[in-house]
Structure 1
Amino acid sequence: MQVILKENVENLGHIGDIVKVAPGYARNYLIPRNFAIEATEKNAKALEHAKRQLEYKRNKVLEQARVLVAKIEGVSLSISHQAGEEGKLFGSVTNMELAELLKAQGVEIDRKKIVLAEPIKHVGEFIAVVKVHPEVTANLKVVVTKAE
């Protein structure tokens, strides 16, 4: 089944793309959530008219993502955890914990968009990648210290 995307869908495509998906995926997920419309001849003609609006929306979403990246990169998170003598943490710092700390700083982001190369299990400075938009990522500085 072919659909026209109305939103950016990760691993599928961008706004305005015509993609082929399984009928159940389109019928049960994409169309009810307004992520896509069916690619009929009528909708394809309407797409040409709507492309300008979609391009404007795409640019607006990209601009919002860049503003969010500037906010995220301006923030440095400090976390204190209990640790052993050699700086090894009891447990680890997770992306859920980072998302909560970002929310406390006024930047609300889904925890699934925070990517850690490997779990943080030692005291020190780390960089976490935040996938704000398919085209834009931010580097989040995380400082882990030993709790007293």
Structure 2
Amino acid sequence: MDVILLERVAKLGQMGETVKVKDGFARNYLLPLGKALRANAGNKARFESERATLEARNLERKSEAQAVAEQLDGKSFNVVRSAGETGQLYGSVAARDVAEVVAAEGFNVGRNQVDLNNPIKSIGLHPVKIHLHAEVEITVTMNVARSADEAERQAKGENLNSADAIYGVDEDALRPEDFFNPEAEFDNDEE
């Protein structure tokens, strides 16, 4: 199906372009959300008459997104979750959780704006992309920890998933030759 884009759509095209998409994508996503119109003579004329209004609205949305991006870009957010000794979370941190944490800080971000391919399943500092507008993308850091104190230590650069943090052992002191010496002679005389 050919559609006329009413706004920029990532990996598809710019506003005003006529692109060919799969019928289901057009019927279930582009048309209901008002991102496109079916490409026919009537809709082309309608688009051309509304082009200035659409461009002005898009520019306004972009400037609002830029203002939010300046405040939000590079920020770090703490997420406290239960985890095992090795740092594996008992649950996970999904896009919905990221959106809730960012919204709790006073920023209006929906979960569909969070670009998280896989849920976060371990403690640590995780970069997360947020699409505020089709042309405005920022990265925030999710500091996933077992407690607020642990999150503070992670923010300072301490690695809480290392053997030292988990077992109280210095990783530099762990060498394979201390545990197994292939040149050692064993007395295996069985009688």
**TM bin (shorter chain):** 0.7 to 0.9
Amino-acid identity (%): 34
Q: Distance in 1 between matches of 2:116 and 2:28?
A: 31
Runs (5+) with no aligned partner, structure 2: 149-191
Q: Distance in 1 between matches of 2:87 and 2:74?
A: 27
The residue matched to 2:66 in structure 1 has which SS?
helix
Per the alignment, residue 84 of structure 2 pairs with 84
Q: Does the CA contact (< 8 Å) of 1:73 and 1:141 recur in 2?
A: no
Q: Does the CA contact (< 8 Å) of 1:83 and 1:90 recur in 2?
A: yes
* Bigger radius of gyration: 2
Q: Distance in 2 between matches of 1:74 and 1:128?
A: 10
Normalized per residue, which structure has more strand? 1
Q: How many residues align?
A: 148
Deviations 1:15-43 (A, max 9, x none): 32223346676567655554333444454
Deviates more, 1:30-39 or 1:81-90: 30-39
* Structure with greater contact order relative to length (CA < 8 Å, sep ≥ 6): 1
Q: Does the CA contact (< 8 Å) of 2:115 and 2:131 recur in 1?
A: yes
Deviations 1:45-77 (A, max 9, x none): 454443333332232222222223223326421
Per the alignment, residue 186 of structure 2 pairs with none
Per the alignment, residue 67 of structure 2 pairs with 67
Q: Does the CA contact (< 8 Å) of 2:99 and 2:109 recur in 1?
A: yes
Which amino acid counterpart does residue 142 of structure 2 have in structure 1?
Answer: V
Normalised by the length of structure 1, the TM-score is: 0.74
Per the alignment, residue 52 of structure 1 pairs with 52
Deviates more, 1:17-26 or 1:53-62: 17-26
